[in-house]
Chains A and B, each alone.
Chain A
Amino acid sequence: KNQVEQSPQSLIILEGKNCTLQCNYTVSPFSNLRWYKQDTGRGPVSLTIMTFSENTKSNGRYTATLDADTKQSSLHITASQLSDSASYICVVRGDGSGGGADGLTFGKGTHLIIQP
């Protein structure tokens, strides 16, 4: 069964600190992996999309890594800011039969709180 597991479920860090969020998946065959940021009361917004051949992709202070062999991804946030407080959702797209009707399997997200 295609699954996306994220850890930790929630995380609290102090402003200015770095943090790393984890995503493990079993989706096969694999097409791409996406990280979304969802602010409270808003819809998810795409941060990165990585294909099989991409190991690292950055978007400002956000850096995503992908290890397609171990089926793991991480999202590293550098020098956190209060505005980084949000849920971060890992989404994996299957190639062909992987995932839902839209080809996507969603993780339940990591809830990140940045404290001043």
Chain B
Amino acid sequence: DAGVIQSPRHEVTEMGQEVTLRCKPISGHDYLFWYRQTMMRGLELLIYFNNNVPIDDSGMPEDRFSAKMPNASFSTLKIQPSEPRDSAVYFCASSLGGDANEKLFFGSGTQLSVL
């Protein structure tokens, strides 16, 4: 398996523009997570899905952020409108199940810069 695949790897946009980040989890994994990483705050959970259903989105900063998972092999994280403070690395991760010892597999991330 190719692992968790994210696109694009880098995104530079201007404030106010819509940004869409994409993720393909590992085939057969039932859980998908979106994280944001900054130097100041480290890794933070934004939202996660179980079997394509959003389970908890309490980490989503505000209404400008939305995430969907239309099928088991694809998820998007959208920011509209984007702001400079959204600049960060966004990671998608997946896991086989929800067991406490389940290992998380991360993608390579999307480096987002909002000017």
Footprint of B on A, CB under 8 Å? 31-32, 41-46, 49, 51, 89, 93, 95, 100-104, 106-109
Contact = CB atoms under 8 A, between A and B. Distances in A.
Contacts, number: 52
The B interface, classified by DSSP as helix, strand, loop or mixed, is strand
B12 interface: no
A49 B44 CA distance: 19
B109 A31 contact: no
A43 B45 contact: no
Contact of B91 (A43, A46, A103, A104): A43
Contacts of A46: 103-105
B48 A101 contact: yes
A103 B55 CA distance: 13
A66 B101 CA distance: 16
B100 A32 contact: yes
A43 B59 CA distance: 19
Interface string B63-96: 0000000000000000000000000000101000
